Amino acid sequence: DHTEQKEQHQRFQKLFQRDVEDRSAPMKKLKASILDQKDEHTLQSVIEKNIEILNEMDVEELERKIDEAVDYIKKARKIYILGARGSYPLAHYLYYMLKELRDGIELLISGSSDFTDKLLHSKEEDVLITISFYPYTNFSYQIIEYFSEYKNKIITITDKLDSSLANLSDLVITGENGGKAHTIIPAIAILNAL
């Protein structure tokens, strides 16, 4: 029994270590690229990388998905917007912009005491827009799961079609946030189009 507990503990440690490494990998790459950079024209380099990433976006497919998202938004009684950790600024930006255009916009904030009250008043004709890039949060997953159980339409803006969050969503809009450069510019372009 003691040997089995020890093996379980070792497996847990390996899983935890792998999770920590996976979560920190993008920032390690970013830090390494900053330290290795000898270019005097940093701004120019960043602009060029972002232009390259934007040019690689599948605009036709994104247009189709954005049109579908706009249709959900138009029909919604209320729109709940969710973004945690590094995605929170994007969620807040979308919240601010949509609030200027219509009523019934709610921002769900992890750790705030009123988000459960907001969820209690949701109805089936409401829409959840989730913005979440790797590493995904349990909070985001739980909120999506909640809305999914109540048959709400769920729009997820994320980096991968096969993410755990995307699997519970009705519509997934993907925007690069890593790879060639750590950037939120594609996500901002998608939010501006919405």
pLDDT band at residue 169 using 50, 70 and 90 as cut-offs:
very high
Q: What sign does the dihedral 158-162-163-166 (CA atoms) show?
A: positive
Task: Give the Å distances, CA to CA, from 38 to 33, 35, 45, 90, 179.
Answer: 10, 8, 11, 30, 20
Q: Is the pTM of this model over 0.85?
A: no
Joined together, the tokens standing for residue 62 give 């994104």
**Average per-residue pLDDT for the chain:** 82
Q: What is the pLDDT of residue 28?
A: 62
Task: Indicate whether 16 pLDDT > 50.
Answer: no
pLDDT band at residue 192 using 50, 70 and 90 as cut-offs:
very high
Compare 70 and 32 and report the one with higher pLDDT: 70
Strands of 46-99 (E only): list them: 79-83
Model pLDDT for residues 66-88, shown as the tens digit of each residue: 999 999 999 999 999 999 888 89
Task: Indicate whether 60 pLDDT > 70.
Answer: yes
Q: Can you tell me the distance from the alpha carbon of 9 to that of 30, in angstroms, rounded to the nearest whole number?
A: 32
